[in-house]
Chains A and B, each alone.
Chain A
Amino acid sequence: MKSVGLYNKLFSVLHKSFALLLVFAFSISTYAQDVDEARQKAGKKLFKSQCASCHKLDKKLVGPALGGVEERRENAWLKSWIKNNAEFQKVNTEAAQAAQYSATAMTAFPQLTDVQIDDILYYTTVGEIKKVVDSGDVTVGGQVLQKSGAPEWLIYLLAAAIVVAFLMISSLLKQVSELKGGSKPGVESNLRRDLQELWIGAKNNTFLKVLSTIFLLLIGAYVTFGTLFKVGVDQGYQPIQPIAFSHKIHAGENKVDCQYCHSSAKHSKHSGIPSLNVCMNCHKAIAEVAETTEIQWNGQTYGKQQLDLEIDKLYEAVGWDKDELVYTGEEKPVKWIRIHNLPDFAYYNHAQHVTVAGIACQKCHGPVEEMDEMYQYSPLTMGWCINCHRETNVDLKGNEYYEKIHEQLADKYGVDKVTISQLGGLECGKCHY
């Protein structure tokens, strides 16, 4: 399972390169529709901030789907309804009827101006703008390839060049040998004879033999040592999870705070996997991903179709009927596969590092916001822990607990700043009991 990660990366690079070639070949730049982009953008922004928690364009949520709502209701009616539907219901029978749609009454929005409402309605009419090519980045099927991707395929290019050069040199050598030694098949090239002589000479040289034996033994020891030290070190461990959950979409693109979901990290030794009701805080409203969303999952590209099925997995686990928008009570807890496994005899506390020390999650977990599929970024070996404890200065300011200790320690070591090891952070018993 561990080698899969590397394989994935290789595969995705090839895939990307191929796609890139295609793009260059058929570079077209068009908009799907002829729309006022500025109005649509303004409308979309307002829709996302004011309406999206209860409405979608193409599906019912708490409220009805709003796509093309202007075809169903008049503009003036809609404005009155949006500004204060409760008041409007009193004077308009149609509105009173409309209110029967849901038991949840709609919030009044008196703060919205007519222009703003028009923008929103414009957005509901034109919907999303489908762009194929953007000016800055190159978009391929929704995946944005950064320009920094170039060196990656440059390496492959270089490798190919080396292979070609090697082939050329080898054919050149062949030609030279043919020119030098005639074309008799019985007599091999001088090069080969030279090599044979060199081998015989080396075989009889004791010093060389001893030297090479020592060299080989050292290499052997080095390799064995290195291999054995890797046993149980699961850096890069990337198991296949039951739901294709992308940290990149959540923490990266949507900038959800790590501790919104992993809330126990600030209180407890465990960072905790969020319970499914936390997922539903957002996913009650988000039943599907955007049209262009794509992630890399287990060596494959998951587009909207697959990802919506993944969200359905969440609904099944938590027992949410997405059509009726009610909980059914049939719960099936998700069996995630744990990535970061410390042995039982090692104690680690998230709260100490997150709340007290204020360390960013990325310091140990790596660029999670760029990972579609989560993997173990750090080796989690004792040497790795110790190293950090040796090097890191403790920020003792603003925490009354440290005041006196800091004073005494600074006095003792004659330094202004104190590392964790000077505070006793290297003692065996601090992590092993």
Chain B
Amino acid sequence: MASNKKYWKSVEELQGSSVVETLAKNEFVENIPTDDFLGDKETLENSSTSRRDFLKYVGFTTAAASLAACEGPVVKSIPYVVKPDDIIAGVADWYATSIADGFDYANVLVKTREGRPIQIMPNKEANGSTSARVQASVLSLYDETLRLKEPTKGGKAITWASADKEIGDALLKLKEAEKPVILLTGTLASPSTSKVISDFITAYPNIRHVVYDAISESAAVDAFKAMYGKRILPNYKLENAKAIVSFGADFLGDFHGGFEKAYVAGRKPETGAMSFHVQVESNMSLTGANADKRVVAKPSDVVFALLNLYKEITGNGVSSKATPIDGEIKKLAKVLKKAGSKGVVMTGINDVNAQLISLAINQALNSDILDTQNTLNIRQGNFEEVQGVITDMKSGKIGGLLTYNIDPAYTLPNATEFIEALGKVSLKVGLSTENNATVDAMDYALPTSHFLESWGDTNFSEGNYGLMQPTIQPLFQTKQVQDVLLKWSGSTTSYYDFLKNYWTTEVLNAASWNKALHNGYYSANVTSNTSDYVSEVVISDVANQLKKSISSSGMELNLYIKTGLGDGRQANNPWLQEFPDPITRTSWDNYLTMSIADAKVLGFSNPVKDNGAINGDYAKVKVNGAEVVVPVMIQPGQAKGSVGLSLGFGKTFGLKEEMKVGVNAYPFYKDGNNIQYNVSIEKVSGTHKFACTQVQKTIAGRHDILKVASLKEFKTVDPKDHHHGWNKPAYVSYDHQEVEANTIDLWDEHNREVGHHFNLSIDLTSCTGCGACVVACHAENNVPVVGKNEVRVGRDMHWLRIDRYYSSTVETREEAKELGLSRGATYEALETEAENPEVTFQPMMCQHCNHAPCETVCPVAATTHGRQGQNQMTYNRCVGTRYCANNCPYRVRRFNWFEYANNNEFDFNMNNEYGKMVLNPDVVVRGRGVMEKCSMCIQMTQATILKAKKEGRKVNKDEFSTACSSACTTGSLVFGDVNNKEDKVAALAVDKRAYNVLDYLQTKPNVIYQVKVRNTNEA
């Protein structure tokens, strides 16, 4: 029952730390340091500044400031000489394009203002979705520090013409000498670029194209090839699934397929058809957090469990080993068998044999969910081939190496070996958008255009084509890689002509080029190049090999990728660094995640300081000769005997000082395998300071924040039932009678029937916690980045945060008694709950209360209520008393402690001319000393209304949107006008799942949450 659950945000809180309790009561996590400057008498006395001097300074500065204010600055306005037809100053243009940067692939829409791209949104028409990284990539375009600006040779600038000539000559020489040249790129997933490369290879037959992905999916594609004859990633039609069993596949988190939309489509409680999702894993992943049931096991046990599941389902005896979770596996086998062709098994273990077993189980289930037709082209890397290239380089066989947009000198486990081997190569050319260690080690560093400056095409999955078009003139002296290769091949056509010609002849099938470019995508009928089952794989051999490969003793390490930084290619992006990890809520860091039990044994702890900041101890981690010192974060839900560490951090080359955070885990990424055995961990001295927002912003009175129901409850129990209801209203005592809280009120009601009235509905069932909305809000509302130290003391500025709650059914021994558990079972229950808690995400922003507590306490009426439902914050009126934040029960108001723009102390995007180009001109940049918060994107609703007025029509159905609702791929966030009964949100506002957070306070929020429904009853 929902109300019996205890929700907790950290281990400290669960164990009842007094610090956390105090924090829940404090307005701000940190006290105002008055004592620091008033309490120290000695310093005051010794100070050379007397009171008289002080008054002099005050007098002078006041006079100077008043004088300066008398004459306004002269503002210049410079119009175009010749204005482009489609640009109207002040009106945004949207372009459909695609991102394919080697790690993220998506069909997107780009918003440009006066020729500057300022925001990226999913192209929902093209089934596109955006992650936090894709949303933030628009800022990487303006990364003046890291981007390559001009061609260089040995660090000295040269012209493109001479670079082309010198490299062309060198290539010709190598061709005549028949010395092999390697073109090393990431996965391009671009058919026309593949053609460009094959033309290039025709011109120079000594060139070989090798694909290298920093985050390897080699095992998955190799396994698919072994079974289906094609080296490609399979797709999954999760929207039709009845049962999903994932063995460590973080398909919602690592994102390479954008599966969250399909996943959520198959989980609609209203239809009653909800897939049953079980996650078997060691790290707490985003996917695991969303699962109906999470089975915790250390990596080796996950592998054996997979083998055991194969045995259970097929009945074929293969060699395996007993695991502690075999009981669960038996249940899962039953569930999967029942689901039959609607069941699917996925695995994220980067081992060909494990992947083969998983495919074999799907084969045995005759799974329709595994899609072998509409396969994915977005991971084609071949880890072994890359290692082969390095060996060849070392032996001097390779004459030249051309790299494009990859950084093996950082991402390879044997990076130093690679750098050494480079010395034996005569022609070294690095083509890259951003500067990195690899490019730096090359003879030639050639700058390529950012995807927002480029033409291109994509083919992420079979039949689904996308186009890429420039949204801005190149900022620097960059060229597209395709243009460069075409030139080197001796062609005189530009890539744009080449692309258009290629599409007309190969893709479009007589459809319109202009229309495809406008839409950004083109769907072709999949010509059945059927990948048939090539059953040449002997599963018993595979199982034997798999079993043999696991030599587990000691701790096991599961490397993973964070939602924020991914493979680390955007490590210089302040939005992503400040983005709190959905699970740990820690920003600006990576760390070793460790189970509570192991931490206790090894002596690690995470003390919470009285300002809400979390500290950590350091561990020295050794695997296969590599070692790093890394702080430890205790993670509920981490499997005992395993630790987790994320890749993508610890990059240093060319980065700003502030961005050089975390440790580089790539040296552990041996054979591109995310599981490493025989890990030794040793506590070392030192205290690490985390920037973690986990216990800050703890909301007082936490019951009635989250409401969760099981699918069975949802179907059978009356939501308002006084005892068992899963969405019962709050009751209060009034005249000694228990009445529903919403029947009494302090305030008079406003008339909310006239005009628009905005509501935002957030469906907790479909929110995966991906955080795309957080970054979208950053971009739309010019939310400043404050840096690691400020986040640590609780001064982060996120208008929209995603709270993560752990929950446990059994909270105390007393409750266990009520449930009739035996003494032993009680302890077990208490421990396992913390070891494997349920996780719920809750996006939290200003609730735009109709009876807002903040409005009544503002002494200057800077925060007022609009009749369209928005709680308005007038920055120029605010004097910074912070009463409003004190009175806000939701902890959503943010105070500008400092001037964050044009301040060298906060050297992020708002402190340089390029970074400022991403600012939204429709929203003001707030100054120091004012409060700010979510505005429900009033600039967007105003723009929508104005558009309708100008066109003399009513606002269309579902026309209103906010940045977060547009960015939400799963449709969890729905924004609209409740007074327009056709709007989706009007129905959602009165849905039986709808509830308000802290409804007993009678704040009457305009943000509505939908009760989370979990399909927990299946098992």
Q: Footprint of B on A, CB under 8 Å?
A: 231-232, 234, 239, 264, 267-270, 272-278, 317-319, 331, 333-338, 341, 343-347, 349, 351-352, 355-356, 398-405, 408-409, 412, 423-424, 427-430, 432-433
Q: Which of B854-878 contact A (CB under 8 A)?
A: 862, 864, 866-868, 870, 872-877
CB proximity of B944 to chain A, nearest CB, Å: 11
Q: Which residues of B contact A346 (CB under 8 A)?
A: 876
A430 close to B946 (CB less than 8 A)? no
Given contacts A272-B89, A399-B949, contact A337 B77 (CB under 8 A): yes
Q: Is B736 an interface residue (CB 8 A)?
A: no
The contact of B955 among A335, A336, A401, by CB within 8 Å, is A401
Chain A residues with Cβ under 8 A from B942's Cβ?
A: 347, 430
| Complex: A331 Cα to B868 Cα, angstroms | 48
A400 touches B952 (CB 8 A): yes
Name the distance in Å between A390's Cβ and chain B's nearest Cβ: 16
B392: shortest Cβ distance to chain A, in Å? 52
Within 8 Å by CB of A412, from B76, B751, B870, lies: B751
A334 and B876 contact, CB distance less than 8 A: no
**Closest chain A residue to B73, Cβ basis:** A341
B876: chain A residues at CB < 8 Å are: 343, 345-346, 432
Other CB < 8 Å A-B pairs besides A268-B88, A274-B79, A398-B952, 10 of them?
A: A267-B88, A276-B81, A336-B78, A336-B79, A352-B949, A409-B755, A427-B872, A428-B864, A428-B874, A429-B874
Contact A405-B754, Cβ < 8 Å, known A272-B79, A337-B75, A355-B950: yes
Contact A430 B866 (CB under 8 A): yes
A268 and B924 contact, Cβ closer than 8 Å, known pairs A277-B83, A401-B955: no
Of A344, A399, A403, A424, the residue contacting B925 (CB under 8 A) is A344
On whether the beta carbons of B75 and A345 are closer than 8 Å, the reply is no
Return chain B residues, CB-CB under 8 Å to A409: 754-755
Q: Of all chain B residues, which has the CB nearest A411?
A: B754
Is B954 an interface position by the 8 A CB rule? yes
Bitwise interface map of B from 915 to 927 toward A, beta carbon under 8 Å scored 1, else 0: 0000000111100
**Is the CB–CB distance between A427 and B924 below 8 Å?**
no
B755's partner among A347, A349, A405 (CB-CB below 8 A) is A405
A268 in contact with B89 (CB, 8 Å): yes
Q: How far is the CA of A336 from the CA of B75 in the complex (A)?
A: 9
The CA-CA distance from A399 to B952 in the complex, in Å, is 5
Nearest residue (CB) in A for B872 is A429
- Are the C-beta atoms of A356 and B76 separated by less than 8 Å? no
A-B contact pairs, 22 of them (CB 8 A): A264-B91, A272-B90, A276-B79, A276-B80, A318-B81, A331-B82, A333-B79, A334-B79, A336-B78, A337-B75, A341-B75, A399-B949, A401-B954, A401-B955, A409-B755, A424-B866, A427-B864, A427-B867, A427-B872, A429-B864, A433-B872, A433-B873
Q: What's the nearest-Cβ distance from chain B to residue A226, in Å?
A: 15
Nearest-Cβ distance from residue B948 to partner chain A, whole angstroms: 5
Chain A contacts of B89 at CB under 8 A? 264, 268, 270, 272
Determine if B385 is an interface residue (Cβ-Cβ < 8 Å): no
Q: Mark B294-329, 1 if CB is under 8 A from A, else 0.
A: 000000000000000000000000000000000000
B938 at the A interface (CB under 8 A): yes
Query: Does A232 contact B949, Cβ atoms closer than 8 Å?
Result: no
Q: How many Å from the CB of B336 to the closest CB on chain A?
A: 52
Q: Does B886 contact A (CB under 8 A)?
A: no
- Asked if B753 lies at the interface with its beta carbon under 8 angstroms from chain A, I say yes
Is B38 interfacial (CB-CB < 8 Å)?
no
> Is residue B74 within 8 Å, beta carbon to beta carbon, of the partner chain?
yes
B939 within 8 A of partner (CB):
yes
Say yes or no: is B70 at the interface (Cβ < 8 Å to chain A).
yes
Q: How far is the CB of A69 from chain B (nearest CB, A)?
A: 35
- B949 close to A401 (CB less than 8 A): yes
Q: Which of A318, A343, A400, A408 contacts B953 (CB 8 A)?
A: A400
Contact A338 B75 (CB under 8 A): yes
B residues 84-106 in Cβ contact with A at 8 Å: 88-91
B69 contacts A by Cβ under 8 Å = yes
B935 interface neighbour in A345, A356, A412, A429, Cβ under 8 Å: A429
* Chain B nearest Cβ from A160, distance in angstroms: 35
From the candidates A239, A344, A428, name the one contacting B74 in the complex (CB within 8 A): A239
Identify which of A317, A347, A399, A412 contacts B754 (C-beta below 8 A).
A412
The winner among A267, A412, A427 for most chain B CB atoms within 10 A is: A427
A264 to B69, alpha carbons, bound, how many Å? 32
Which one of A232, A403, A433 contacts B938 once the chains associate, using CB atoms below 8 Å? A433
A50 to chain B, nearest CB (A): 29
B924 touches A356 (CB 8 A): no
Q: Do A401 and B952 form a contact, CB below 8 Å, given A334-B78, A428-B877?
A: yes
B81 touches A317 (CB 8 A): yes
User: For the complex, is B72 an interface residue (Cβ under 8 Å from A)?
Assistant: yes
CB proximity of B58 to chain A, nearest CB, Å: 19
Interfacial residues of chain B within 42-89, with CB under 8 A of chain A in the complex? 69-70, 72, 74-83, 88-89
With A345-B924, A429-B873, A433-B939 already in contact, the answer to whether A337 and B88 are too (CB < 8 A) is no
Indicate whether A264 sits within 8 Å of B866 (C-beta atoms), given known contacts A337-B76, A412-B754, A429-B938: no
Q: Which residues of chain A are near B922, meaning CB under 8 Å?
A: 347
| A-B CB proximity, top 8 nearest | A429-B872, A268-B90, A275-B83, A275-B80, A428-B874, A270-B90, A338-B75, A273-B79
Q: Which residues of A contact B83 (CB under 8 A)?
A: 275, 277-278
Query: Residues of A contacting B751 with CB < 8 Å?
Result: 412
Interface residues of B in 731-773 (CB under 8 A from A): 751, 753-755
Q: When the two chains form their complex, are residues B925 and A273 in contact, meaning their CB atoms are under 8 A apart?
A: no
**In angstroms, how far is the closest chain A Cβ from the Cβ of B143?**
25
CA distance A351 to B647 in the complex (A): 50
B864 touches A264 (CB 8 A): no
Mark each residue of chain B from 509 to 535: 1 if its CB lies under 8 Å from any CB of chain A, else 0. 000000000000000000000000000
Write the nearest CB–CB distance from A316 to chain B, whole angstroms.
11
Q: Which residue of A lies closest to B948 (CB)?
A: A401
Chain B hits for A337, CB < 8 A:
74-77
Interface residues of B in 378-410 (CB under 8 A from A): none
Which residues of B lie under 8 Å from residue A331 when comparing CB positions?
Answer: 81-82
State A404–B77 Cα separation when bound (angstroms). 41
- B72: chain A residues at CB < 8 Å are 232, 234, 341
A428–B876 Cα distance when bound, in Å, is 10
Instruction: For the complex, give the distance between the alpha carbons of A424 and B868 in Å.
Output: 9
Q: B78: which A residues are within 8 A, CB to CB?
A: 333-336
Report chain A residues within 8 Å CB of B81: 275-277, 317-319, 331, 333
Nearest CB in chain B: distance from A79 CB, A = 40
Chain B residues near A399: list those with CB within 8 A.
Answer: 949, 952
What per-residue 1/0 map shows which CB atoms of B328-366 lie under 8 Å from chain A? 000000000000000000000000000000000000000
For residue B880, give the distance in angstroms from its CB to the closest CB of chain A.
15
Residues of B within 8 A of A345 (CB): 875-876, 924
Give every chain B residue within 8 A of A239 (Cβ-Cβ).
74
Are B923 and A433 touching (Cβ within 8 A)? yes
CA distance A375 to B948 in the complex (A): 33
Bound complex: CA of A355 vs CA of B947, how far in Å?
A: 11
Complex interface: chain B residues within 8 A of A349 (CB): 946
Known: A272-B89, A334-B79. A231 touches B70 (CB 8 A): yes
Query: For residue B88, which residues in chain A have a CB less than 8 angstroms away from its CB?
Result: 264, 267-268, 272
In the bound complex, residues from chain B placing their C-beta under 8 Å from that of A404 are: 954
Q: Which residues of A contact B82 (CB under 8 A)?
A: 275-277, 331
A273 & B77 in contact (Cβ 8 Å cutoff): yes
Contact between chains at A429 and B870 (CB < 8 Å): yes
Which residues of B lie under 8 Å from residue A273 when comparing CB positions? 77, 79
A412 to B867, CA, bound (A): 14
Give chain B residues whose Cβ lies under 8 Å from the Cβ of A269.
90
Smallest distance from the beta carbon of A339 to chain B beta carbons, Å? 9
Q: How far is the CB of B921 from chain A (nearest CB, A)?
A: 9
CA gap between A168 and B953 in the complex, in Å:
73
Whole-angstrom distance between the Cβ of B640 and the nearest chain A Cβ: 50
| CB-CB nearest in chain B for A424 | B867
Q: How far is the CA of A423 from the CA of B77 in the complex (A)?
A: 34
B946→A352 contact, CB < 8 A:
yes
